[in-house]
Chain A
Amino acid sequence: MEHAHATVPTVVHAVSYLRFIVLFPLLGVLFNIFLGQRLGRKAVNYIAPGVVLLSFLFSFVAFLRLPEDGALVDTVWPWITSGSFHVDFALRVDPLSALMILVVTGVGFLIHVYSTGYMAHDEDVARYFAYLNLFTAAMLLLVLGENLLILFVGWEGVGLCSYLLIGFWYTDDEKASAGKKAFIVNRIGDAGFLLGLFLLFWSLGEKGVWTLSFSEIQAHASALSVETVTAICLLLFVGATGKSAQIPLYVWLPDAMAGPTPVSALIHAATMVTAGIYMIARLHFLYSMSTTALAVVAVVGASTALFAATIALVQTDIKKVLAYSTVSQLGYMFLGLGVGAYTAGVFHLMTHAFFKALLFLGAGSVIHGMSDEQDIRNMGGLKSKMPTTYGTFLVACLAIAGFPGLSGFFSKDLILEEAFVSEHGSWLLWLVGTVGAGMTAFYMFRLLFVTFWGETRASHEVASHIHESPVSMTCPLVVLAVLSLVGGYFTLLHFLSPVFGEPHEAPLPFLVKYLPTLVGMSGIGLAYQMYVRDPDMAERLGQQFSGLHQLLANKYYVDEMYDAVIVRPVAAASNWLWQVWDTLVIDGSVNGTAHWVEANGLLLRLWQTGNVQNYALSFLVGATVILGYYLW
């Protein structure tokens, strides 16, 4: 399937209700900050998910009223006007953003509901929901923005909320620094994003088009040279690697698991990390112009997909496995985008939002039931004690593993097929993706078997406490499980065609079509063999290949390498700048000026004898001189 040249949606309906989609969560923020603490947990538990539900309803209305082959635009106010350049604070819904706002508010609402149960024992629930609502508002701004500037505001907003939420339990040093790490790594990406933005703005401006609006950029993009477009796309992609956790900037996401688990589900699985995917899909007309940029996106995506999957194979922290799995799945989305199959990438974004949110929430339910235990080596045998969690977790595992008929099967297969047949794809990308798919199935079922099957390995005290989670937590699980089951049948191909163009069908070799599924099923089988039928096998293999095992368990020492190559030199340089440049040179010159003034003051004050008669004498001399001057 190949995408024809996308047409710019021409039918634009001016409406004025899109602003409420963003406004409701913002009101929720204000409520939680100013009244949340006073009115108590109960009010917060209703208001915080309630505002997101309202947003969802408005999003649904927008979705229903979306004109065929067109878009809804809500111009709230003119924002910046400078000569012929002007930016409106405008929100726009076309099929792509309609899908995004439905996912953000829908999955977001479920996670808000889940949070009311998960955070039931936390003191600071009002602050938590204030951040969560703020995040929702920022994410909605990101996907609704009619121009790059609003997108950037949302882009930074979600980054900030991510920092606030990862470091939510800020009294724990490790968690607070995980938040900082996420923020700093994202800033590095954002620097690239900003440069790309400036380059796009200036190079379009040189052609006489001063604009940041998506539709106008799309209309005038053909005026740009391919080299410029390549540079713009690559710079913007740097931003995407930061936000969407791709090589080389993925390192923040695994650490981000320090935040409360529903946050991981919302931000680091379902919504924020998809911002990079969304941005590229939104600017697909630019990326389509540059073969180089597309190739870079595809290669980075495919390598991340495989690289992160290998790390996930041996992790023992339930959330870390899911974190690396997220990085890997985001890689698949970029692979889809990079081979020009934007629809496939966005399709996987949606199904991934369902099953990955479900996996994280399921993990949260397990952690909740196990009295905050996260190490899967201390779990086991939860199947009978947490039946709802187990059932939904199983559905999610099957979905992500690509079991035929479930959501992940459709979207991942679509990406892999496109990787093979697209003119931007190659068999190598397909192969990497297929191997990654096998690993995905393996590590997910390893997680499932080790956590839920077999005998319990928890301490007696913990084991006696294990309980199924409250209804507020299991309900979202069930809804997400249903979505993971049927999400693959929401065929987006036609729905998104006004944005990306109509896809073409292409003949596909038999092997290419069925091998990924087959590999996925064998991954499940291998996990069953290694962790259920012969539980010692994993141990034996680990010892046999202890070097490899160490390498994977230590995540390829990437954090250590970054620490040695980047963090320490930067810290040393900063230290030098502080000790030498700042203290010596800058403070020195400032203090030097002060000392010079003081020395002169000391000299000058010798004139001030304090003797009245000396002053009187100078008075007399002055008077005599003036008098003499006039009389002369």
Chain B
Amino acid sequence: MVPISYHLILSAILFTIGVMGVLLRRNTIIIFMAVELMLNAVNLSFVAFARQLGSMDGQLIVFFVMAVAAAEAAVGLAIILSVFRNRETVNADELNLMRW
């Protein structure tokens, strides 16, 4: 059986990639995907712990996260789409309408 540390390390790597993607990329769609990646990194640790502890709680929460992520993806993509229609861009640096 694969030790839990392997799963956790993979989860940390995925989460870090997600954070870096959010902070460094300028394309909102990529940022959005990086956010999804972070969610799934967390999901991975949930599942790993659930198996380790023999409890269903972690798996249950993963389902919640996936459901919320799906809803969030629908709303988020819709926002990005309408932003693109208005501004002809999805570059985060150019979306600074709320700035003073």
* Residues of A bordering B, CB below 8 Å: 605, 608-613, 616-617, 620
Contact = CB atoms under 8 A, between A and B. Distances in A.
B22 interface: yes
16 contacts: A605-B100, A608-B99, A608-B100, A609-B99, A610-B97, A610-B99, A610-B100, A611-B96, A613-B22, A613-B23, A613-B26, A613-B31, A616-B22, A616-B23, A620-B19, A620-B23
Interface in B52-98: 92-93, 95-98
B95 A612 contact: yes
Contacts of A608: 99-100
Contacts of A616: 22-23
Contacts of B26: 613
A509 to B, nearest CB: 96
Given A610-B100, A613-B23, 20 more contacts: A605-B100, A608-B100, A609-B96, A609-B99, A610-B96, A610-B97, A610-B99, A611-B92, A611-B93, A611-B96, A612-B92, A612-B95, A613-B22, A613-B24, A613-B26, A613-B31, A616-B22, A617-B23, A620-B19, A620-B23
What's the interface size class on B, roughly?
10 to 19
A610 B98 contact: yes
A523 to B, nearest CB: 87
A300 to B, nearest CB: 70
Contacts of B97: 610
Interface string B21-64: 01110100001000000000000000000000000000000000
A47 B48 CA distance: 98
Contacts of B99: 608-610
Closest 9 CB pairs of A and B: A610-B99, A610-B96, A605-B100, A612-B92, A613-B23, A617-B23, A616-B22, A616-B23, A613-B92
A613 B23 CA distance: 5
Contacts of B19: 620
Interface of B: 19, 22-24, 26, 31, 92-93, 95-100
Nearest to A605: B100
A613 B98 CA distance: 14
A605 B98 CA distance: 13
A608 B98 CA distance: 10
Nearest to A602: B100
Contacts of A610: 96-100
Contacts of A620: 19, 23
A155 B98 CA distance: 63
Contacts of A617: 23
A611 B98 CA distance: 9
B45 to A, nearest CB: 15
A610 B97 CA distance: 8
Nearest to A620: B19
A605 B99 CA distance: 10
A601 to B, nearest CB: 10
A617 B23 CA distance: 6
B97 to A, nearest CB: 8
Contacts of A609: 96, 99
A496 to B, nearest CB: 81
Nearest to B98: A610
A616 B24 CA distance: 10
Q: Which of A605, A611, A620 has the most CB of B within 10 A?
A: A611
Nearest to A614: B23
A612 B98 CA distance: 10
A55 to B, nearest CB: 69
A176 to B, nearest CB: 51
Nearest to B93: A611
A611 B31 CA distance: 13
Nearest to B100: A605
B80 to A, nearest CB: 13
A269 B96 CA distance: 78
Nearest to B97: A610
A620 B99 CA distance: 21
A472 B22 CA distance: 96
A606 to B, nearest CB: 10
A608 B97 CA distance: 12
A616 B22 CA distance: 8
Contacts of B98: 610
B9 to A, nearest CB: 17
A620 B20 CA distance: 10
A613 B27 CA distance: 11
A612 B93 CA distance: 8
A152 B26 CA distance: 79
Contacts of A612: 92, 95
Nearest to A612: B92
A610 B92 CA distance: 10
A617 B92 CA distance: 14
Nearest to A617: B23
A146 B95 CA distance: 78
A129 B74 CA distance: 77
Nearest to A623: B19
Nearest to B22: A616
A620 B31 CA distance: 15
A317 to B, nearest CB: 70
A222 B93 CA distance: 90
Q: Which of B23, B24, B95 has the most CB of A within 10 A?
A: B23
A560 to B, nearest CB: 62
Contacts of B22: 613, 616
A290 B78 CA distance: 95
A616 B25 CA distance: 12
A612 B26 CA distance: 10
Contacts of B95: 612
A327 B30 CA distance: 96
A70 B100 CA distance: 81
B32 to A, nearest CB: 12
A620 B19 CA distance: 8
B90 to A, nearest CB: 12
